[in-house]
Structure 1
Amino acid sequence: MPHLVIEYSQKLEDSISISALVSNGQQAMSDTGLFNASAIKTRALPYRDFVLGKNHEGSSNLFIHAEVRILEGRTVQQKEDLSAAIFNYLCEAAPEVPEISVEIRDMEKASYSKRIPF
């Protein structure tokens, strides 16, 4: 059920393994102990066109943003710990990236639908 969506500047594909970023992000989510490992879904989305702030010439234009979507019901402390775990993982995995952010989003149980395989 939890979703880890890693958005990143496409330029990063020249310097880091995106598949490793995804698989290790999946592991970082699992390591928190908040979720059943088989329920975690992780994916990455590259962005070719974007603006970072004033986007000064000569800036690196590198970013990673992780959005973690979880069903409502977790405590504030659990969400803070989850955010810190993903943030720390991304900073270690991509030390050359100056813009890294993580956002935890609650999904309402009433409006979440899921097809389960037979």
Structure 2
Amino acid sequence: MPHLVIEYSQKLEEMLSIPALVSSGQQAMSESGLFNPSAIKTRALPYQDFVLGKNHEGASDLFIHAEVRILEGRTTEQKEALSAAIFNCLCEAAPEVPEISVEVREMEKASYSKRVPF
């Protein structure tokens, strides 16, 4: 815990390094100071089939969406700062991508289960 899930249009694999994007996101999460770096889990998921809601010629088919899942208990200011840090990281790592978004989601401690190594 926490989780950073980076969703992206698969076409981006031809344009940028996805492992570098994941590493940048992991670093931004770590540098936020909100989490133990060894607890952060970052992964990326490509999407081949999607609609971005634009229906005009010349519309981009490139996107990145990051979902940050954290346990409840952070202030609004901390969540805003985390969202901004991840957003800035993604924009810097992928300047050619016109559609970038970040969402921070809180998970309730009571409903979160996790298996840990012995």
Say yes or no: TM over 0.5. yes
- Report what 2:108 is aligned to: 108
> Offset of 1:86 from its aligned partner?
0.2
Aligned AA (1:25): G
Is 1:18 matched with 2:15?
no
- Report what 1:48 is aligned to: 48
> Offset of 1:57 from its aligned partner?
2.6
* Structure 2 counterparts to residues 88-103 of structure 1, below 5 A: 88-103=88-103
- Report what 1:66 is aligned to: 66
* Structure 2 counterparts to residues 26-45 of structure 1, below 5 A: 26-45=26-45
Give TM-score scaled by structure 1 length: 0.97
Q: Supply the RMSD in Å over aligned alpha carbons.
A: 0.7
> Offset of 1:54 from its aligned partner?
2.1
Long gaps (5+) in structure 2? none
Count of equivalent residues: 118
Long gaps (5+) in structure 1? none
Distance 1:82 1:75 in 2: 11
SS at match of 1:106: strand
Conserved 8 A contact 1:55-1:61: no
> Offset of 1:60 from its aligned partner?
2.1
Moved over 4 A (4+): none
Aligned AA (2:100): I
> Offset of 1:89 from its aligned partner?
0.3
Question: What percent of counterpart residues are identical?
Answer: 85
Give TM-score scaled by structure 2 length: 0.97
- Which stretch of structure 1 is more off in the superposition, 55-64 or 104-113? 55-64
Aligned AA (2:33): G
> Offset of 1:59 from its aligned partner?
1.9
